[in-house]
Chains A and B, each alone.
Chain A
Amino acid sequence: MSTALTSTGVTYPDGTTQTNGRGTKSLLTTLTASNSSALQYTGFSSSYNNYELVISNLIPVTNGVNAQMQYYIGGGYGAAASSYYAAGFSTYGPVIQFATTYHYIGGSGTYFQLSYPGYMTNTSSKGLSGTLWFWNANSAFYKQLTGVMAGETYSAGYSERTCMGTTYVGSTAVLGGFQVYMSSGNISSGTIKVYGWN
């Protein structure tokens, strides 16, 4: 059986069908750090309403820092006081039990954290990875993000998992993009793949 275009979509040789383009992610760009002050993207558009960022092995130049994010909204990177309502939670492993090894990373600030403060190492074989989702980016509502990050990032050598949800209340303008940067120093290496979908 060949691949076929039909009146209802695409039929593949294995018999599976694709009936529409919604739900399928499209890679928009890959941002690559090389001793970079920030990884920035301002290419969100009306073509996609939701965005997914896949972050791979983000490593800081400076030891003992953390990754942070700001939205690009209203023509600039949102940095007003108390504009990011962030709720997050970091847990650590593999040795210590959950009950005694977690941190909340919530706050109301000019940015939000992608990892627990001070727990990223600059060890080249480690780094921070995970997935972040921007929801309803073209709406006239507050812009919201959920995500999960993980890595060998604990300064004492343990693994870390951080989950988060953030609502930006500084504006209800269309979301144009984002920047990721370290709390101190540059980003040594790592990539962010940006996908759009509807």
Chain B
Amino acid sequence: MATVMNNTGIYYPDSNYHTTAYGNRQYITEAVFSNSASVGLYTSDSYANYEAVFSNVVAATNATTFQCLLDFNAAWQSGNYYYNAWHGLWSNNSGNQYGGQHNYIPLCYPGYFLSTASSGLSGYFRIYNCRTTTQVKNYEWMTTGYTWTTGGGGEHEGGGYYNDASNNGLAKMDGMLFYPATGNFLSGKITLYGWN
């Protein structure tokens, strides 16, 4: 059977078919680091949901933190209004759970973003329904890597939302700023996808 395109969609040789683009993630852009500063990745009304995929992102400065800010109303919001619940796990069979308000989204345990060139952090950050103007935007993340400062593996996982006294969090979320708390990105890449 050949690939067939008709008035209901596309039918593939293996008998699978696509009748809509809903559900399909689509590549939007990619930032490749070479001793690079922060990177802002932007959203549009084309997609409701976004996923940033981290591929072996390495810090230029050892023992910093991989962080994210969100853009509401044309500003990277840096107030203490990110409501985060998260944990960090280590390969020595221990971990820490946290919850509370921060002025950023912690994509790894504080101080555990390393300059080890062979590793870095990999994983994802997802944010949902981010173009609505009536609700806060919920997000979640999961990263892993050679991140334990005393020599081991770590897993970092969490979720939360942003809002403040001015209700900036109800506006469309226009972008994500990824940055190390100190210094630059040594290497790695962040790829942005969108889907509906």
Interface residues of A (CB under 8 A from B): 1-3, 5, 10, 12-14, 16-25, 49-50, 84-89, 104-108, 133, 135-136, 139, 141-142, 144-146, 148, 163-167, 169, 172, 197-198
Contact = CB atoms under 8 A, between A and B. Distances in A.
Closest 7 A/B residue pairs (Cβ)? A165-B144, A85-B153, A165-B155, A22-B27, A16-B21, A23-B25, A135-B122
Contact of B144 (A25, A139, A144, A198): A144
A12 B21 contact: yes
B172 interface: no
Contacts of B89: 87-89, 104, 106, 163-165
B43 to A, nearest CB: 15
Interface residues of B, number: 49
Given A3-B7, A87-B95, A146-B122, A164 B25 contact: no
Given A3-B8, A20-B27, 5 more contacts: A13-B9, A20-B26, A104-B95, A106-B93, A166-B155
A167 B144 contact: yes
B54 A135 contact: yes
Given A2-B6, A106-B93, A167-B146, A86 B20 contact: no
Interface string B134-176: 0000000011111010001111110000000000000000000
A104 B26 contact: no
A142 to B, nearest CB: 5
20 contacts: A18-B21, A19-B26, A23-B193, A24-B26, A50-B53, A87-B91, A87-B153, A89-B155, A104-B93, A107-B91, A135-B54, A135-B122, A142-B56, A144-B121, A144-B122, A146-B142, A165-B142, A165-B154, A165-B157, A197-B25
Interface of chain B, main secondary structure: strand
B55 A18 contact: no
A13 B95 contact: no
Contacts of B21: 10, 12, 16-18
Interface in B98-133: 118-124
Given A85-B153, A104-B94, A164-B155, A23 B24 contact: yes
Nearest to B155: A165
Given A16-B20, A23-B25, A89-B95, A142 B118 contact: yes
A88 B6 contact: no
A78 B52 CA distance: 29
B77 to A, nearest CB: 27
A115 B196 CA distance: 32
A142 B58 CA distance: 12
Contacts of B124: 133, 146
B25 A136 contact: no
Contacts of B95: 87, 89, 104, 106
Contact of A107 (B56, B93, B122, B142): B93
Contact of A24 (B24, B94, B123, B146): B24
Contacts of B156: 165
